[in-house]
Amino acid sequence: MSIKAILNYQEIDTKLYKIERELAGCEERKEYVKIKKFLETAPEKLDSLEVKATALKAEAAEITKKYAQAEETLKDFEHLDELVNEGADIAFYKKKAQSIYDQLRKLKSDLNALTGNIKATDEEYQKLKKQVIAAQKQYPAVSEKYKAVKATSEEQRKTIEAELAKVSKEVPAELLEVYQTKRKERIFPVVGELTGNRCPYCSMEPPLAARNKLTGGGTIECDNCHRIIFSN
């Protein structure tokens, strides 16, 4: 009796499932979901780009500071000729000057790379900001189109849901709960009859011990596709 009741429930539910699939596949919904998801994730992306830009600017400021300090150190070599005439070791000063020069060259290279990165980040931010503004303008119209499409099947949906509520009283509560849980997991059809010792949907053969539980109107769950299986 419970199998017959759940099969009747599933037969009616098939009509509702068809409506849901058609709605899920329509272009109006796809466009609506696309823009909605974009607007939901955009603020986080914008914040991330702002944080990145701030960090890059701070890094650039630090490199600029080091560059200025290195340039200041080079001023110590302005009177190198006098130091050499006084007997200073020219090899020492030459080596030190080369080291500072190499440091300046690297700092300049790093600064140029950072400047380019800051510019690219800013351009990405501005581009995303424009996309957000455009999406915000499109959203009301896209949302209305999707609502209009949903409305065309709303009465039919309510009729089917009312019919399901009526026949659900004939289905054991525990079995109905399992069915509805699997339905939410997008498993459909949910219930099927064992065919040639195999699942009617994925063709996997349940173990003998599991099939033995089907006697007397029992049900099992397919280990592969997780549907409910029964046998007459």
Mapping DSSP onto H, E and C, the string for the chain reads: CHHHHHHHHHHHHHHHHHHHHHHHHCHHHHHHHHHHHHHHHHHHHHHHHHHHHHHHHHHHHHHHHHHHHHHHHHHHHCCHHHHHHCCCCHHHHHHHHHHHHHHHHHHHHHHHHHHHHHHHHHHHHHHHHHHHHHHHHHHHHHHHHHHHHHHHCHHHHHHHHHHHHHHHHHCCHHHHHHHHHHHHCCCCCCEEECECCECCCCCCCCCHHHHHHHCCCCEEECCCCCCEEECC
Phi, psi of 221, rounded to the nearest 5 degrees: -110, 130
- pTM (2 d.p.): 0.71
Give the per-residue pLDDT at 133.
97
Point out the least confidently predicted range of 64-68, 96-100, 176-180: 96-100
**pLDDT of 93:** 67
Query: Above 90 in pLDDT, residue 156?
Result: yes
Segment 158-168 shows an average pLDDT of: 97
Residue range 97-103: mean pLDDT, rounded: 81
Indicate whether 128 pLDDT > 60: yes
Task: Give residue 121's pLDDT band: very low, low, confident or very high (50, 70, 90).
Answer: very high
Residue 230's DSSP bridge partners are 193, 219
Mean pLDDT, the chain, rounded, equals 90
Question: Which of 105-109, 132-136, 172-176 is predicted with the least confidence, judged by mean pLDDT?
Answer: 105-109
In the chain the domains, ranked by start, together with CATH numbers, are 24-161 (1.10.287), 172-230 (no CATH)
Per the document, the length of the chain is 232
